[in-house]
């Protein structure tokens, strides 16, 4: 069971702009209710993934509010800044600010977040894993695996990064297969391109033991049915289920 982020966030309801990494969002309920949800899932033989977002905070986060426009703030070094004085972001997203992982206090704070949530759940789906330094993920892996060797680490990395398969993440978003399925569904490539996408994993450097999360759509994407039509959507679902 993978839920999008459950932590306290700004006014955007998707939850990816955190204002408090340690609290459950008010509109979702209480910490106790979240723990009850995890327990209920476990009672039904299900495991729970926590959507772990640590590349950035919301600009509404109190640390950023303190740092913005104040070079003397104790949190100013927690963030990456452009020469203009604006916070660094990806894709010109206006509501977030990138954390600076060269700052030791940032790494310590995020590891505290790991320690807060990892004991409650069965794995992390890591948002924007490519944007956080790989050595930090090694530190996270060592920390969670020391407690639970079965703790699952899933990276959302588009396009995927083969190096993440070597002693870092267990499962990888298969963005390449996703793209090929879209191209096939829209008539731009032959159906065999899906098989080529799977075979291509080894060519780019993934080891045989690497696991992949295959998908034709997710919460970030348009519906495959709407984009490609029902026959293609049924075929894509069958491909995802078998490949």
User: What pLDDT, on a 0 to 100 scale, did the predictor assign at position 200?
Assistant: 94
Per the DSSP assignment, residues forming a β-bridge with 212 are 172
Task: Please report the DSSP string for 106-169 in residue order.
Answer: HHHHHHHHHHHHGGGSSEEEETTGGGS-HHHHHHHHHHHHHH-TT-EEEE--SS--GGGGTTT-
Residue of 122, 156, 170, 174 marked catalytic: 156
Q: Which residues contact 146 (CB under 8 A, 6 or more apart)?
A: none
Catalytic site includes residue 156: yes
Q: Flag whether the pTM goes above 0.85.
A: yes
Q: Quick count: other Cβ atoms within 10 Å of Cβ 59?
A: 19
> Each residue of 87-99: pLDDT tens digit?
999 988 999 999 9
Residue of 10, 51, 127, 174 marked catalytic: 127
User: What pLDDT, on a 0 to 100 scale, did the predictor assign at position 243?
Assistant: 86
Per the DSSP assignment, residues forming a β-bridge with 58 are 96
Q: What is the mean pLDDT of residues 176-205?
A: 96
User: What pLDDT, on a 0 to 100 scale, did the predictor assign at position 167?
Assistant: 83
Distance CA 53, CA 50 (A): 9
Q: What percent of the chain shows pLDDT beyond 90? A: 93
User: Does the pLDDT of residue 120 top 90, yes or no?
Assistant: yes
Catalytic site includes residue 170: no
In the chain, count of helices (H) and strands (E)? Answer: 8, 9
């Amino acid at each position: 069971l993978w839920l999008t982020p459950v932590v306290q966030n700004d006014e955007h309801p998707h939850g990816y702009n955190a204002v408090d990494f340690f609290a459950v969002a008010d509109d979702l309920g209480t910490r106790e209710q979240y723990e009850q949800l995890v327990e209920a899932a476990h009672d039904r033989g299900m495991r729970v993934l926590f959507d772990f977002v640590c590349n950035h905070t919301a600009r509404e986060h109190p640390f950023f509010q303190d740092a913005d426009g104040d070079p003397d703030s104790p949190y100013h070094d927690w963030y990456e800044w452009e020469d203009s004085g604006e916070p660094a972001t990806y894709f010109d997203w206006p509501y977030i600010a990138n954390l600076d992982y060269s700052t030791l206090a940032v790494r310590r704070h995020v590891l505290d977040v790991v320690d807060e949530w990892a004991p409650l759940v069965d794995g992390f789906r890591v948002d924007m894993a490519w944007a956080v330094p790989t050595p930090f993920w090694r530190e996270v892996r060592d920390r969670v695996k020391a407690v639970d060797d079965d703790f699952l680490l899933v990276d959302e990395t588009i396009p995927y990064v083969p190096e993440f398969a070597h002693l870092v993440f267990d499962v990888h978003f298969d963005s390449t297969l996703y793209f090929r399925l879209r191209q096939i569904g829209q008539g731009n490539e032959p159906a065999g391109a899906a098989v080529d996408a799977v075979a291509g994993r080894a060519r780019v450097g993934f080891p045989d033991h690497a696991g992949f999360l295959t998908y034709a759509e997710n919460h970030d994407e348009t519906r495959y049915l709407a984009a490609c039509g029902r026959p293609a959507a049924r075929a894509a679902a069958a491909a995802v289920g078998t490949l």
